Chains A and B, each alone.
Chain A
Amino acid sequence: MNIKSCMKHVVVSIPATATIRETAEVFVKNHIGLLPVVDENGNPIGILSLHDLLTLELPDFVSFVADLDFVHDFGAVETTRPSAEALNQPVTVLMETTITIPEDCGLLRAYAMMLQHKLYDIPVVSKKGKLVGIVSHVDIGTAILTGWYSVE
C-alpha cells in the first residue's frame, strides 16, 4: 500500500499573493489544517499550517516557560487578536519551505516524515512535481492499522 491509496485527491491551495486574512478564511471554510501555497502555474512553493497562523495569536511566554500547568487562566491573552497590519501581510511571511512526499511513497516513510517535520498533513506530488493530493496523519495512521487485521 502506498500514499496514493489513502490520500485525498481534492487539494485546497492558496496563491502566494493572498493575505493572511484571506488565508484564514480559507482554513475556516474548508475546516482543514494545512494549505499548500502555489505559484501561478499551480506548483507548490511553500506550505502553511494552521499552527503557523496561530503563532500570530499565541502569547510569547509559551516559548519561554516550560511548565504551563500553573497558569489556569490565560487572562488578557485569550482576547488578544492580531493587529490589522499583521493580518494584511502577504501569506509568504508565515510560509514554511515546501515539504512534500511522492505519490508512490510508503506509508511508514510518510508517517516518519510527518513526525520529523512536526506536520499533521503533508502534500503529495506526482513524479513531475505537480500537486496531486494531500494526506493527513489520520489518513496514514489508520491505513497502517488496517494492515494489522491480517495478523494471525
Chain B
Amino acid sequence: MILAASLSSLIFLISLVLIFSEKLNRSITAIAGATLMVGLGKILGFYSETAAIEAVDFNTLGLLFGMMILVAILEPTGFFQYLAVLSARLSRGNPVRLFVLLGIVTTVLSMFLDNVTTVVLIAPVTILISEVLGVNPVPFLVAEALLSNTGGVATLVGDPPNILIGSAAGLSFNDFLVYSLPIVLIAWVGALFLLLWLFRRELAVRPRKAKSVSKLNPVETLIEPIIARRVLIVLGAAILLFFVHHILHISPTFVALSAAAVALVWVRPDIHLVLKKVEWSVLIFFGALFVMVGGLEATGVLDALVGLFERSSNIPPLLFGVGLIWIVAVLSAVVDNVPITIALIPVIKGLGETGIDIDPLWWALVFGAGFGGNGTIIGSTANIIVATLSEKTRTPITSKLWIKRGLPVMMATCAIASILYIIIYPVF
C-alpha cells in the first residue's frame, strides 16, 4: 500500500507542477494524470474504472454545464457590452465613478455567472471606453479581475470552488447568502477602497475627452434585445429557485440544468454555436481531477493527511480555521484553486469523521480559495485573461504590477475575512 500511496501522490504532484508551470495545458495534464491513476490502480489493485466514475461529482459538472449554456445564449445578445457602456454613460467621464460602476457591474455579474465569461466580455469594452476617454485602461482591467474574483466568493454559483464545496458539504444557496455574502460584501468594499487608493495617481488624471462617452449609445450594443430579455427572465427565475431549492428538495444542479433547458427551448438558438461556447476544457479538467483525487483517496494518502491534521488538533479550532484560510489562499495564488479545493475536500470530510466540527472549516476553504486567486497574475483565470488582453495593447499589465496591486488586495480581503471569521465563528 505504501507503493500505491507514494506512486499516486507522485502522479498528483507532477500534475500540479505541470499545471503550475504551464508546461502542459491543464486539461491535457488532468486527462493524462487521471488515466495513469486508473491504470496504476488496476495494476496495484487499489482503484477501478467503476470507482473512478463514482469519484466524479456530477452535481458540480451539471451545475457548471447548465450555467455555461445560459451564458452561451446570453453572450451574443450584447447584454454584457450594454452594461459596460451604460456604466460609461452614467460615469459622465469621471474616472473614479467609472471605476466604481464597472467594478459593481463585473462583481454582480460574476456573483451569478462565470467570472471568466464576465471578464472576457467586459474587458474589451473597458479598453474601448478608456481609449475614447483618453485614460489608461490598466486600473480598470486589474480592478475588474480582482473584484469579480472577490464577488464570486459570495454565492454558491459564483465560483467553481464554491460549487465543489457546496456539493461536497451539502451547503445550500442560502447558506452562502447567510455565511459568505456578508463577509464578502465587507471584504469587497475594503478591496474597492484599497484599489481606489492604490490606483489614486492613475485615476486622478483628468480624461482628455470626458464628454465623448455621452455619445456612446448603450441601446445600440444590444444586438438581440428579445433574446437577452428571455435569457434574463430564465436566469432570474433560476436565481429565485436557488433561494428555495432546499425547501423544494431539488438540487442547484437541477435548477441550473432546467433553466438551461427552458432557455434553449424558448430561444431555440443554433445549438452547435451554443455548444461551441460551452467551456468543455473546464468540464474535462474538473472530471479528470475528480478521478485523480479519487485515486489518491483510495490509496489512503488523504487519510494520512487527515491523521496529520488530527495530531495537530491540539491547535484551537478557531486558529486552525484562520490558518486554513491563509494556507489555502497562498496555495491558490500560485496554483489553480480548483485542484487544491478538490484535494482538500476529502481531507476535511475525513477530519469530520474523527469528530472535529468541520462546518467552519468549509467556510475557511471557501474564503481561502476565493480570495487567494487575487494574489498573482496567474492566480485565477480572470487575471490571466485581462493580462493577456492587455498585452495586445500599448499598456500591458506586468506580473510585477499585479504583485503591487493584487497582492495587497488578497492580503486585505484575507485579513478582513479572518477577522470576521473569528467574530462570527460561534455562529458557523
Contacts and interface: CB of A to CB of B under 8 A. Distances in A.
Interface of A: 59-61, 63-65, 67, 69-77, 79-80
Interface of B: 85, 124-125, 127-128, 131-135, 207-209, 211-213, 215-218, 220-221, 223, 389, 392-394
A70 B209 contact: no
A63 B393 CA distance: 10
Given A70-B85, A73-B212, A64 B128 contact: yes
A80 B393 CA distance: 15
B389 A64 contact: yes
A76 B129 CA distance: 10
Contacts of A60: 127, 131, 392-394
B392 A61 contact: no
B125 A65 contact: yes
Contact of A70 (B208, B211, B220, B392): B220
Contact of A75 (B124, B212, B217): B212
Dominant secondary structure of chain B at its interface with chain A: helix
The 7 closest A-B pairs by CB, nearest first: A76-B134, A75-B212, A75-B209, A64-B124, A70-B220, A61-B128, A75-B132
B131 A73 contact: no
A76 B212 contact: yes
B132 A64 contact: no
A77 B213 CA distance: 12
A64 B133 contact: no
Nearest to A59: B131
A76 B215 CA distance: 13
Contacts of B85: 70
A13 B124 CA distance: 38
A70 B216 contact: yes
Contacts of A77: 131-132, 134
A79 to B, nearest CB: 7
Q: Interface centre among A59, A70, A72, A80, by most B CB within 10 Å? A: A70
A76 B128 CA distance: 11
Nearest to A63: B392
Contact of A61 (B124, B134, B213, B220): B124
Given A64-B124, A72-B215, A73-B216, 9 more contacts: A63-B392, A64-B128, A70-B216, A70-B218, A71-B128, A73-B132, A73-B209, A74-B212, A76-B135
A93 B147 CA distance: 38
